[in-house]
Amino acid sequence: MRSRSSYYGRPWRKLRITLLNNEPLCRICGQPANEVDHIVAVDAGGTDDPSNLQPLCRSCHAAKTRAEHQHPQASGTLRVVVVWGPPASGKTTYINTHKRDGDVVLDLDALIAAIGGDRHWVRTPHWWRIAWDLFHDATRATLTYTPERQTVWIQSGNELSFEADNYGRPIEVSSVRIEASPATCIKQAMQRGASYDSSREIVEKWFKTLRVSAKS
Ligand SMILES: [Zn+2]
């Protein structure tokens, strides 16, 4: 969505052309873009700053604008299931066998792994900061906007809790811990292609950390 005054003005037209030249493809679907979208709608406080603008094709832009008008925020009780446990213990399998069509799956481990880069970058203070923001934003958006008819499945290495106050709606959280021995996890990690050494390192670290946090 854009504001009427800036849309028709010369500065907006110039900005629009520059942006489409720099990034000619729709950021959602990759087709040629022909419109510039405000990521946060102007009505919701978004600005014309380039960081709030993205190229979209006509149909993606229309769908996003329609969603902003029709579904500003969900308000009914949202059911959230946190499925947590050690690495390679079978969390994905558990979710896939229990979720219904249309449910939302938020895999926090995968999300954080997606900004892994190389081993020197992972676990630096900057990496933690980015991982935390990503985790926080993804969870907030998912719990705020998911319609109540859909269950949100959150896959995580740790047990998580959520304050309903942060999402502007009632939230009903249940927690499922996937039980698996370290030996089973190491075996399953290796079946997914990891080496014995790295599987053992990751799995043992998880169990050690859990024991520490359970004591405190
Ligand atoms: Zn598109």
Low-confidence ranges of the chain (pLDDT < 70): 1-8, 44-45, 71-74, 117-123, 164, 211-216
Spacing, Cα 20 to ligand 1 middle (Å): 13
Q: For domain 4-70, which CATH number applies: 1.20.950, 3.40.1800, 3.40.50, 3.90.1200?
A: 3.40.1800
Q: For domain 78-179, which CATH number applies: 3.40.50.2300, 2.10.10.90, 3.40.50.1980, 3.40.50.300?
A: 3.40.50.300
Answer whether 47's CB lies under 8 Å from 14's CB: no
Task: Identify residue 136 by its one-letter amino acid code.
Answer: H
Give the pLDDT confidence score for residue 190 in this predicted structure.
94
Spacing, Cα 22 to ligand 1 middle (Å): 16
Spacing, Cα 41 to ligand 1 middle (Å): 17
Answer whether 35's CB lies under 8 Å from 57's CB: yes
Beta-carbon contacts of 28 under 8 Å, excluding residues fewer than 6 positions away, are 56, 57, 60, 64
